[in-house]
Structure 1
Amino acid sequence: MIKPFGNNVSSVLAQPDFHNVASDAFDRGQTLPQMLIAACQRHAGRPAFTNLGHTLSFADVERMSDDLASYLRNGLRLEAGERVAIMLPNLLQYPVAVLGTLRADLVAVLVNPLYTARELRHQLVDSGAAALIVLDNFGSVAAEALQDTAVRHVITTRVGDMLPWPKSLLVDTVLKHVKKMIPPFRIPMALRWPRALAEGKRLPRVQAMAKASDTAQLQYTGGTTGISKGAVLAHTALIANVASAEQCFGHCLDPEKDVVMICLPMYHIAAYSNLTFDMAHGFHSVLVTNPRDIPALVATFDKVKPAFFSGVNTLYDALLNSPDFANLDFSGLKLCLQGGTALRRGTAERWKALTGKDVVEGYGLSETSAAITYNRWDAPNPVGSIGLALADVEISLRDESGNPVALGEPGELCARGPHMTTGYWQRPAETREAFFDGGWFRTGDIAKADGQGYYFLLDRRKDMILVSGFNVFPNEVEDVVSMHPGVLEAAVVGMPDEKCGEAVRLIVVRKDPDLSEDDLRAHCRKYLTGYKQPTRIEFRDNLPKTAVGKILRRELR
């Protein structure tokens, strides 16, 4: 049985009819699709996903994914274990594509739909994907990327394909001819999504034969510190993550009443874990296709009145900076989660003051099947903590030689348990480097711990700046700078320095156009010791980010 959340504190027990779903699936050795199909059948009459004003029930998702699975295996003749790349934004097609792929004993490869042709080709070649499911909006990119890949089959879909007539026609016509968001493309092997489902409906049903230990997914790393690699995630790892989440948050939420907003793109592990958690427990999930459209996001928030909301720090900031957001009713909001980047203290304080709810920070990676720590939602947490270890996760802070560090000392955060990747796809050397003896996965992040079991993330090991022999953690400097009321966003990277070896370089996006370099220097002198203060300060109109809002320090360097 998956152990309750937080080995160092009293457990938070979920409601009896809620918390056992994934834990029991884990104990029975089920695969991820087996768990999700059972949930779809159990909650068949409930609304499952809403997007663009249309809702699919759990019965719809189960039926359509079954048809897709039959087409992939019996129509395209894909063999068990082959990879299917899914290049879609948050649309109703997404859960159908994922569950259809998994229940056909195929491996899902989740692709950032905003990739360039070069980035897409790398992921297709690296994964050896045999099939690609792609939105028409990105068809021209896919057409350019397919050369010299192993892709034999392509399924293309339009935004309106899952919407009722005539809305589907209206949406697709506006996107193509008015907004010009669908560049022309030609993929000779491509088949349309509706036809794939229709043909699959007439084919024999798929009998899944996968084992729980088999690979379910290749989750590609964000590439913020180097080349993107495919983390191999087994069915057990993904189910264990859902089981940990239900032990942590089960008592807080009611699947029969609460609505969830999924704003982060579902190719990202944080949002993907949202998807599997919601499906496993029968939640109604509202999919936000473009969270960067803040006015539309605020309007959706107002209409949906979610009980469960998650995002990254930049998304929380964007909402807080919208005047209309302050006028909403937050009385139904129960749980707000944040991960992917460090939560800024100022952001957390503003959100609590406006909504009355804490932003609960967690920590995880693609390689750990999403979160492995979370703060308590039901109790005070130490300032700056990323939380306690989740159920069945062991954490150890270690030095460069793999030895545990003393309590309170910084060390590389290492973890082991059923949530962990088994390694990087077809990269044995990098897989060996990613683990210390004993199966401890090396996250590459520097953290420290207190005596109560709480962890505090200091920074990426590769982002750490060495100034005259002293370690400077960019997150700390960014946190201080972001406290200044004239700062909208800030990023810190190291730069070569003849005197100190490295020096601190600060890049700022102004909120106040009159903010000066002298103002920032005075602010930094107030809160930072000498060697942590920026040597160079630059102002920019924006910062480079990933699709989920993570600032790309690599590009700034």
Structure 2
Amino acid sequence: MESQKPWLSLYPTEIPHQINIDQKPLHYYLEQSALEFPNKIAIHFLGKELTYSDLYDQSLKLANYFQSLGLEKGDRVSIMLPNCPQAVISYYAVLLAGGIVVQTNPLYMERELEYQLKDSESTFIVTLDLLYPRVSKMKALTNLRHIIVTSIKDYLPFPKNLLYPFVQKKQNQIVVKVEHEGNTHLFKKIMELSKPSVEVPTYIPSEDVALLQYTGGTTGFPKGVMLSHENVVSNTKMCASWMYKCKRGEESVLGIIPFFHVYGMTTVMNLSVMQSFKMILLPKFDATDTLKTIEKLKPTLFPGAPTIYIALLNHPDIHKYNLSSIDCCISGSAPLPVEIQEKFEQLTGGKLVEGYGLSEASPVTHSNFIWGKRKKGSIGVPWPNTDSVVLSYENGGIAEPNELGEIAIRGPQVMQGYWNKKEETEATIKDGWLLTGDIGYMDEEGYFYIVDRKKDMIIAGGFNIYPREIEEILYEHEKVKEVVVAGIPDPYRGETVKAYIVLKDNQHATAEEFNEYARKHLAAYKVPHIYEFREDLPKTAVGKILRRALVDEEKEKMKNAN
């Protein structure tokens, strides 16, 4: 099955159709940046700075320590940290020591953590002191042998490091005392004890797995996506080629998207290390802190998610801050409303384009051109070395332009498969093509459009309804801050359309007002039958709105009502 790749004729001359993928392991690029730019700032974290030489040195120390504890090639190591220097050091240390990184969400509760540790068979974990009580319970339940514990204060500058425990107490956070003994190891102590030298194993980048990236698990149990060194290196190189105006060793990247999310890992951490950029890390998203950071530290690149840009645009004091340093942003993890894109570009003077990807593709596969032709509402065109087709529902072959079908992808960034899940792998990868589960189409020029997730499509009264189309309309309403549309059970129509709306500050509205508005813009069968106004919406750590959680909530309500 071969596509015609009409999009290649649209590429600016600066973007190659094919890029050379070095057969180098991921950690090679940290070593190169440390050699080429030893004194350049690699990480800025709440006032503390590390150079590329520091970052490489400390990664080697931790890698050495891992090996002294018996870590062997292929062993899994969980990293359960927010965005902080230790997260970057740990990631590269695991790879240098021969391990496989298992990114673990710090928000996981015991049940979720136990599942992931058991499924990945992780024997090591690096975590925060705050999370130690939760993590230490896992030793009796899983294969976990060693826990390496760090604290946010370990990488804070003076006097913030001394004040940190008092801030914790003030915020009613537990203050945990952990000792460096037995199978519990202190990160700070390791940096004092260990040597910056390690026996790095030999890798075959196209075969050796660099990380297990667990999918969100909004349906069923999360699956570990096996990404090889080549998968991640190729996607990072594609990203660098797409941002061709960004100069090696000169840019600053705002790191708010969590590194335990594959999008933050590639577009912030791995891209920065490969291109010797400065990472400006924030451990959590706060709109005011983000605006202050942009004004003070002047990042040029700002990968984000729509909810982050929406929160900033709705900040009451946004016009008091200078955001003009921002040159480009690629938005990922969820559809970007056109309204938000236009407002953010007006405000910063930079470019904000929508990209598309999934964990199974390391993650990015498509994007609009940052400096070139863009189409509103489109996810753009496939990246270099990447092929994409729409599979027709009629005959399973390649769909005609503008015909709806399932989007499929092929390229060097596509996963090796799901960890220990042969059947799921075979159902997802067919003849080398990754089936995304997304419904969309390609226009005559080669621009792709996502209509919706297969599983999110609403079937009401026999009509196929796509939530994204309704959300785009509702986002244009001047009172709307955030919105999500879902299909909820209905005894008559099978499903009915419900809109969950968060209003902008100091706004009031009624369901009648929105019903009248929607009827002007949508066919009658697409108009929501129910409107619910909420203070906030359930989200993942990366800011993706959890539509499925709202549907489950509705089902629970109905069950209790009966």
Task: Give the alignment's TM-score, normalised by structure 2.
Answer: 0.92
Residues 6-405 of structure 1 mapped to structure 2, 5 A cutoff: 7-13=8-14, 26-27=21-22, 29-73=23-67, 75-164=68-157, 166-171=159-164, 173-182=165-174, 184=176, 189-201=183-195, 205-213=198-206, 214-250=208-244, 252-273=245-266, 274-291=268-285, 293-399=286-392, 402-405=396-399
Aligned to 1:525: 519
Secondary structure of the corresponding residue to residue 413 of structure 1: strand
Secondary structure of the corresponding residue to residue 201 of structure 1: coil
Aligned residue type for 2:34: C
Secondary structure of the corresponding residue to residue 534 of structure 1: coil
Aligned to 2:403: 409
For residues 86 and 422 of structure 1, the distance between their equivalents in structure 2, rounded to whole angstroms, comes to 21
Q: How far did 1:348 drift?
A: 1.2
Q: Equivalent of 1:445, from 438, 445, 452?
A: 438
Secondary structure of the corresponding residue to residue 441 of structure 2: strand
| Cα 1:12/1:56, change in 2 over 3 Å | farther
For residues 199 and 23 of structure 1, the distance between their equivalents in structure 2, rounded to whole angstroms, comes to 42
Secondary structure of the corresponding residue to residue 118 of structure 1: helix
Q: Which runs of 4+ in 1 moved over 4 A?
A: 183-188
Deviations 1:35-55 (A, max 9, x none): 322222211111100001011
Residues 423-442 of structure 1 mapped to structure 2, 5 A cutoff: 423-436=417-430, 438-442=431-435
Aligned to 1:543: 537
Conservation of the 8 A alpha-carbon contact between 2:327 and 2:349: no
Aligned residue type for 1:522: E
For these two proteins, the number of residue pairs brought into alignment is 541
Deviations 1:305-359 (A, max 9, x none): 1111121111001111113222222333211210111101211121122222331
2:461 is equivalent to residue 461 of structure 1: no
Aligned residue type for 2:311: A
Aligned to 1:489: 482
Conservation of the 8 A alpha-carbon contact between 1:477 and 1:532: yes
Conservation of the 8 A alpha-carbon contact between 2:19 and 2:385: no
Return 5+ residue gaps in structure 1 as ranges: none
| Cα 1:347/1:183, change in 2 over 3 Å | same
Conservation of the 8 A alpha-carbon contact between 1:269 and 1:370: yes
Q: How far did 1:417 drift?
A: 1.0
Secondary structure of the corresponding residue to residue 308 of structure 1: coil
Conservation of the 8 A alpha-carbon contact between 2:327 and 2:351: no
Aligned residue type for 1:114: L
Task: Give the alignment's TM-score, normalised by structure 1.
Answer: 0.93
Deviations 1:375-401 (A, max 9, x none): 011123111010110011110111457
Q: How far did 1:260 drift?
A: 1.3
Q: Equivalent of 1:418, from 412, 419, 422?
A: 412
For residues 184 and 195 of structure 1, the distance between their equivalents in structure 2, rounded to whole angstroms, comes to 16
Which range moved further: 315-324 or 329-338? 329-338
Aligned residue type for 2:330: L
Aligned residue type for 1:181: Q
Which range moved further: 84-93 or 320-329? 320-329
Return 5+ residue gaps in structure 2 as ranges: 552-562
For residues 34 and 390 of structure 2, the distance between their equivalents in structure 1, rounded to whole angstroms, comes to 40
Secondary structure of the corresponding residue to residue 442 of structure 1: strand
Deviations 1:482-508 (A, max 9, x none): 111112211111122233222111111
Secondary structure of the corresponding residue to residue 309 of structure 1: coil
Conservation of the 8 A alpha-carbon contact between 1:41 and 1:62: no
Q: How far did 1:225 drift?
A: 3.3
Conservation of the 8 A alpha-carbon contact between 1:305 and 1:332: yes
Secondary structure of the corresponding residue to residue 517 of structure 2: helix
Aligned to 1:516: 510
Q: How far did 1:183 drift?
A: 5.2
| Cα 1:302/1:254, change in 2 over 3 Å | same
Identity value in percent: 33
| Cα 1:80/1:315, change in 2 over 3 Å | same
Which range moved further: 254-263 or 122-131? 254-263
Which range moved further: 254-263 or 58-67? 254-263
Q: How far did 1:116 drift?
A: 1.0
| Cα 1:444/1:183, change in 2 over 3 Å | farther
Across the aligned residues of Structure 1 and Structure 2, the Cα RMSD in angstroms comes to 2.1
For residues 185 and 423 of structure 1, the distance between their equivalents in structure 2, rounded to whole angstroms, comes to 40
For residues 355 and 92 of structure 2, the distance between their equivalents in structure 1, rounded to whole angstroms, comes to 26
Aligned residue type for 1:406: E
| Cα 1:402/1:235, change in 2 over 3 Å | farther
Secondary structure of the corresponding residue to residue 332 of structure 1: coil
For residues 396 and 99 of structure 2, the distance between their equivalents in structure 1, rounded to whole angstroms, comes to 36
Aligned to 1:534: 528
Which range moved further: 208-217 or 79-88? 208-217
Aligned residue type for 2:368: N
Aligned residue type for 1:398: L
Which range moved further: 115-124 or 84-93? 115-124
Deviations 1:1-29 (A, max 9, x none): xxx99524234426xxxx99x955x23x1
For residues 468 and 177 of structure 2, the distance between their equivalents in structure 1, rounded to whole angstroms, comes to 43
2:495 is equivalent to residue 502 of structure 1: yes
Aligned residue type for 1:455: F
For residues 452 and 391 of structure 1, the distance between their equivalents in structure 2, rounded to whole angstroms, comes to 16
Aligned residue type for 1:276: N
| Cα 1:185/1:458, change in 2 over 3 Å | farther
Deviations 1:81-140 (A, max 9, x none): 000000000111111111101111100001111111111111111111010000112222
Conservation of the 8 A alpha-carbon contact between 1:69 and 1:200: no
Q: How far did 1:186 drift?
A: 7.0
Secondary structure of the corresponding residue to residue 537 of structure 1: strand
| Cα 1:55/1:538, change in 2 over 3 Å | same
